[in-house]
Structure 1
Amino acid sequence: MKLKHSHAVWLMVLAPLMWSTAGVVTRQLEHARAFEITFWRSFFTVVSLLVILPLWQGRGVWARMWTERGVLLASGLCWGVMFTAFMVALTLTSVANVLITMAAGPLLTALISRFFIGHQLPRRTWVAILVAGAGIAYMFGTQLGEGGIVGTLVAFCVPVAAAINWTLVQRSQRSGHVVDLVPAVLVGAVLSTLLTLPLAWPLSASAHDIALLAGLGLGQLAVPCVLAVVCARVLSAPEVSLLALLEVLFGILLAWLGAGEVPSQQVLLGGALVMGALVANEWLGWRERAGHYQIRQTETELGDNS
């Protein structure tokens, strides 16, 4: 699938919009709770990807998954933690808390990759990590007296697992193994389904709940994950990271409009620190790379003229 840059940008706006529907949909459920919500969403993600993968990549995808089973299992474990922790966190705290906590993922990835695979971090990234950390610490501190810290701590498992996942992928690519992330999503969904079924039993979801969770499995997870992988082949990593942050804004807005969940002042302030640090870091990095590219272009032109 070949995309123009502008088309990839719009699709990458659509992906976080679809991701952001989880919070408002969860608030519309009648009987399903915590682990059962996670079970049904993961189950329908498995069903969706079992159809999408062979249609998109051909039946050979199953043989490739077996060949790469070691890396896919490790990446799938991380996806499984993300799927499970995300939905459980939504039942324990506000949508805004969950999404803003998850937004720290890119900075945690930078930090973990620095210590485990030796990536050098520029000063701007260290500053962004400190500012974002202060924002999250502030949100944690305000919740200690409110008893809502458990949900935020569960949500924090999502960016930690994501950071480990991307670091594993980078390390495997360095050694010559290119990981296809969509089959890894399927592995994670299978693991999440198997883990949460005994915890969710006996199942109590109504037909209404199951229909909504089926929609989440297909439209909130399977399809946007495929879109993001396709867009990442056209867009640069900073572009993908910045556009993915729209999930935070969309998610808070949808929960506000669709479920009457107004974010607290403390969450907005802590979130502003996290989001500001992320955007500033990515924007400065983009300017730095653009400046280096311009210098190389000028040197090339001068060399040709001489």
Structure 2
Amino acid sequence: MAAFASLSHRQQGLLLTAGGALIMAPDALLIKVANLPDAEILMWRGFLSALGFFLIALMRHGNGIWGVYRRCGWTGIAVALLFSLTTCGFVLGNQYTKAGNVLMILAGAPLIAAALSWVILKERLPRRTWIAIWLCLAGIAMIALDDAGAGSWVGNAFALMAATTLAINFTLCRTRPGIDMSPMLVFNGIIVGSVAGLFWLAGGEPSLPETNQLAVVVLLCLIIVPCGVTLLQRGPLYLPAAEVGLLLLLEVVVGTLLAWWIISEQPAPMALVGGTLVLGTLTAKGLYERRLELRARAGAGPALRQPVERTDTV
């Protein structure tokens, strides 16, 4: 914890967001592996993730947890509702079309977030961020090019809903600087689980998943999703929404690679080029901005260090 506190404001944001994206990388793969009906997988994901989010919030805030919820206010409720739509869009998108299609469409979140931040928050993004966004989108398109015509329009529509609501969510969080909205994700889980549970009960004779399916669901929904999404939701406290969305592309690339490895699919040469382009762009951008940050800190006194970092971030 002391090592984390010694990092700059921007470095903390990069570490949290990239860590969350990497934790969430197996998400699409495990949804496929669980192989459960739509309502059932959403119900388990909702209730189990709500429990996980609450336990994380309780460990972080202890007896002060209720005050945290009060500070989030109506913005926190909107965040919970938006993330409920993101959850449904992502899960149902993977149910109705190929993972490559969902991931490619989800990669559009940085552009949507950048446009919203520019219009609503008047955040001016550096030219290097726009260049990185377009290069990463090109790389993602290469990864999913061989699947582009194979998915259904229903799955693609759900994926677009997930990308749009995720971008709005991150932008909305930026309107309340300093307020951590991640505890509100408990309500996202309750909303998704309750609605899906009603459909599950109405769909026939409910039954528990097989043991191997249940193990996958518990791993994904109780551990991976709460841990990964909590870190991602904290990203807008440190970074512009567009940059948070840009780092989400790590999940896209690593998740695709995991799917290739687990399912033993042979990636096309163009897909390998695309993955290399995304990772190379993110690495180059991170190293370049780290160099700019060190140069700015070296040229400023200790009293001016933190404002320089925040200005460079926005």
Shorter-chain TM-score: what band?
Answer: 0.7 to 0.9
Mapped pair 1:25 → 2:30: yes
Deviation, structure 1 residue 70: 0.5
Quote the residue 2:310 is aligned against.
Answer: none
Contact kept, 8 Å, 1:22 with 1:216, in 2: the verdict is: yes
* Distance of 2:18 and 2:271 partners within structure 1: 24
Out of 55, 58, 77, the position equivalent to 2:59 is 55
Q: 8 Å contact 1:96–1:251 — kept in the other structure?
A: no
Q: Given residue 101 of structure 2, which amino acid in structure 1 is its aligned partner?
A: N
**1:223-262 correspondence to structure 2 within 5 Å:** 223-226=227-230, 237=239, 245-262=249-266
Q: C-alpha distance in 2, partners of 1:295/1:133? A: 35
Aligned to 1:115: 119
In structure 1, how many angstroms separate the alpha carbons of the residues matched to 2:70 and 2:160?
31
Q: Residues 221 and 146 of structure 1: is their aligned pair in 2 closer, same or farther, counting only changes over 3 Å?
A: closer
Structure 1 residues 266 and 112: CA distance shift in structure 2, 3 A: farther
Q: Are the equivalent residues in 1 in contact too, given 2:96–2:151 (CA < 8 A)? A: no
What SS does the aligned partner of 2:114 have? helix
- Which residues in structure 2 correspond to 1:155-304 (within 5 Å)? 155-173=159-177, 178-201=178-201, 202=203, 203-208=206-211, 209-226=213-230, 237=239, 245-263=249-267, 283-296=287-300
User: Superposed, which structure 2 residues align to 1:15-164 within 5 Å?
Assistant: 15-30=20-35, 32-132=36-136, 145-164=149-168
Q: Runs of 5+ in structure 1 lacking a partner?
A: 301-306
- Would the aligned equivalents of 2:100 and 2:144 in 1 still touch at CA under 8 Å? no
Q: 1:260 to 1:225 in 2, by over 3 A?
A: same
Partner amino acid, structure 1, of 2:27: A
Aligned residue for 1:28, secondary structure, equals helix
Q: Distance in 1 between matches of 2:67 and 2:268?
A: 49
1:144/1:214 Cα in 2 relative to 1: closer, same or farther (>3 Å)? closer
Shift of residue 285, structure 1, vs aligned partner: 4.4
TM-score by length of 1: 0.75
Alpha-carbon distance in 2 for matches of 1:11, 1:189: 21
Deviation of 1:256 after TM superposition, in Å, equals 1.6
Give the drift of 1:288.
Answer: 4.1
**What is the alpha-carbon distance in structure 1 between the residues aligned to residue 15 and residue 120 of structure 2?**
34
- What amino acid is aligned across from residue 160 of structure 2 in structure 1? F
- Relative to structure 1, the CA distance from residue 144 to residue 216 in structure 2 (aligned partners, 3 Å threshold; closer, same or farther) is closer
Q: 1:224 to 1:127 in 2, by over 3 A?
A: closer
- The RMSD of aligned alpha carbons is 3.9
Q: In the TM superposition, what is the alpha-carbon distance from 1:186 to its structure 2 partner?
A: 1.3
Report the CA distance shift for 1:115/1:76 in structure 2 as closer, same or farther (over 3 A).
Answer: same
Identity among equivalent positions (%) equals: 27
Distance 2:58 2:147 in 1: 45
Moved more, 99-108 or 19-28: 99-108
Return the letter of the residue paired with 1:190: I
CA contact 2:104–2:141 (8 Å) conserved in 1: no
Aligned to 1:303: none
Structure 1 letter corresponding to 2:209: S
Consecutive unaligned residues in structure 2, runs of 5 or more: 305-314
Secondary structure of the residue aligned to 2:176 is helix
* AA partner of residue 198 (structure 2): P
How many residues of Structure 1 are paired with residues of Structure 2 in the alignment? 292
Contact 2:110 2:133 in 1 (8 A): no
CA contact (8 A) 2:101 2:147 kept: no
CA distance in 2, matches of 1:171, 1:270: 34
Alignment partners' CA distance in 2, 1:96 and 1:146: 10
CA distances 1:253-306 after superposition (whole Å, capped 9, x unpaired): 2212222345556665666666666555555544444444444359x9xxxxxx
Distance 1:145 1:218, change over 3 A: closer
- The change in CA–CA distance for 1:158 and 1:287 in structure 2 (over 3 A counts) is farther
Determine helix, strand or coil for the equivalent of 1:213: helix
Distance 2:24 2:153 in 1: 23
Q: Using a 3 Å threshold, how does the CA distance of structure 1 residues 11 and 109 change in structure 2: closer, same or farther?
A: closer
The DSSP-based 3-state class of the residue aligned with 2:174 is: helix
